[in-house]
Amino acid sequence: MLELIERFDFFGAVGLTLWLTLWGAILAFVLGTIVAIMRLSPVKALQFAGTVYVTAFRNTPLTLIVIASNLVLWNQLGLQLAPRDSASYIVDTNIRLAILSLAVYHAAFVCEALRSGVNTIPVGQAEAARSLGLTFAQNLRHIILPQALRGAITPLGNVLIALTKNTTVVTAIGVAQVSHSMARMIEFRSDVIILIFGLVAITFVALTLPMGMLTSWLSQRLAVRR
Amino acid sequence: MTDTTRRTEGLGQPLVVLKDVNKHFGDLHVLKDINLTVREGEVVVVIGPSGSGKSTLCRTINRLETFESGSITIKGVELPKEGKALAKLRADVGMVFQSFNLFHHKTILENVTMGPVKVRKMKPAEAKEHAMKLLTRVGVEHQANKYPAQLSGGQQQRVAIARSLAMNPTVMLFDEPTSALDPEMINEVLDVMTSLAHSGMTMIVVTHEMGFARKAADRVVFMSDGAIVEENTPEEFFTNPQSARAKDFLGKILTH
């Protein structure tokens, strides 16, 4: 097994998976929050745009989004995400396209998780804030979103775990994360195939189990007492 | 004679004026041609059976409920429809809710300083000092660093009153402030409201507490089926109601 890990740079692949997860999660959270604000806003046009976003990306397979990011965004439309003269131009571009795809896709789920958090807040909270003279933006920032976030920790944790595992999909554009390294191991060492699958499975459990435990703990600790 | 008469003589300019206000919930006509003028320093108590529209009336005054026709002015200014202008007006109109609606994720002190700091742009230290004075005034200064869920209902409602007072409102609306309280906690809230009334605050109070109406009100407004049926001084209203519906209502509630 050690030989496998060394020969196929498995730790490097795990590192890349973590990198994709980290940036994918941060960007998905930011984008998802923006879309959630659009869907919660009193402006009809923003609500509509938010709904379209969620409907479009929640119902499209991630593989499709990943491949389209490469073939359409980069090849056809010429989106440049890395310096062209760099030696790692193609690798960097694909990693960044992968992060972008993961973020755009999971933002739809982050948005819906936050909206489910908003539903845990009694109507009176927003009414009290409005009657104090807080504007819509202040109301969101100080009253609604902090409470929605606390009520949405468990579903947000689910999105994070799904995102971690969905990083495997970006093999489709050749990003050398864990599943990509798994494919190469299988190709060259099909004699130890059970070991390979076991190694990858345990790796993902080791990554996602702490996330689940952390979110359960946080959701209890930060629960809003009513 | 009583404190009431003295107060009535000292009443100022019209502050809140409702003219021909109408509102429907679907087919239900919840507010029917409401005309009401509340003067500076006046305490108006709105009573009536459940579903008579009194809570809706109260919520309409700071536009938590919209209405279809008629007009509401506060200090001569028409109620703005939306946005910053409405927020600015609401800052001057205190509101106390039946279910307290303290911000659950904020401490008692933060609840009271939120409005002054975020809306009035007061310095946090100054807001805190002012908040502590108000919390002392309503008798919950020792709970300042607790969260709302750690307080009793009566304490929470007194904090809600302090939170409204922190904005230095020109008028305060009370929407059944004691209806969600256990009986033993009603008086502690009514005491705070009574002292507020005597301090000259303009108040519109929707309540079922007839004792409070007798003691603190300048005028009682009786509503039934979405309309104002009768208004009078508390003494006249309770001893000599004019309309059949008011007589019927008082007969039902004053028998025990």
Q: Which residue would you say has higher pLDDT here, A88 or A60?
A: A60
Hey, what domains does chain A have and what are their CATH numbers?
A: 15-176 (1.10.3720.10)
**Confidence band, pLDDT 50/70/90 cuts, at residue A169:** very high
Q: What is the mean pLDDT of chain B?
A: 92
Would you list the domain boundaries of chain B? 13-254
Q: What is the pLDDT of residue B6?
A: 42
Mean pLDDT (whole number) for B2-31: 78
**Given CB atoms, is B118 within the 8 Å cutoff of chain A?**
yes
Contact B105 A138 (CB under 8 A): no
pLDDT of residue A75: 84
A6 shares contact with chain B (CB less than 8 Å): no
User: What's residue B82's pLDDT?
Assistant: 81
3-state secondary structure B124-161: HHHHHHHHHHHHHHCCCHHHCCCCHHHCCHHHHHHHHH
pLDDT at A157 over 80: yes
> Rounded to an integer, what distance in angstroms lies between the CA atom of residue A97 and that of residue A103?
10
Predicted confidence (pLDDT) per residue in A12-40, tens digit: 999 999 999 999 999 999 999 999 999 99
Q: In chain A, how many H helices and how many E strands? A: 11, 0
Architecture of domain B13-254: 3-Layer(aba) Sandwich (3.40)
Distances (CA, A) of B55 to B48, B64, B75, B178, B206: 10, 11, 22, 13, 7
pLDDT digits (tens, 9 = 90+) for B111-170: 999 999 999 999 999 999 999 999 999 999 999 999 999 999 999 999 999 999 999 999
Answer whether residue B2 shows pLDDT above 60: no
Chain B closest CA to A132's CA: distance in Å? 5
H helix or E strand, kind and range, residue B242: none
Which residues contact residue B16 at a Cβ distance below 8 angstroms, ignoring those fewer than 6 apart? B36, B37, B38, B61, B72, B73, B74, B171, B202, B204
Q: Which residues of A, range 28-47, sit inside 8 Å of B by Cβ?
A: 42
Confidence check: pLDDT of B4 > 50: no
How confident is the model over B204-245, as pLDDT tens digits?
999 999 999 999 999 999 999 999 999 999 999 999 999 999
What DSSP line would sit under A193-213, residue for residue? HHHHHHHHHHHHHHHHHHHHH
Tell me the shortest Cα–Cα distance from B255 to chain A, in angstroms: 34
Residue B197: predicted pLDDT: 94
What is the model's pTM? Answer: 0.85
d(CA B228, CA B240): 17
Token pair for residue B186? 């009603």
**How sure is the predictor about A82, in pLDDT bands with cuts at 50, 70 and 90?**
confident
Tell if the CB–CB gap between B90 and A125 is shorter than 8 Å: no
Question: In the structure, what pLDDT confidence band is assigned to residue B1 with cuts at 50, 70 and 90?
Answer: very low
A vs B: CB pairs below 8 A: 71
Average pLDDT over residues B49-75: 93
Q: Distance from A22 to chain B by nearest Cα, in Å? A: 28
Record: contact A138-B118, CB cut-off 8 A: yes
The ipTM of this complex is 0.89
**Partner-chain residue, chosen from A130, A138, A225, that has the shortest CB–CB distance to B104:** A225
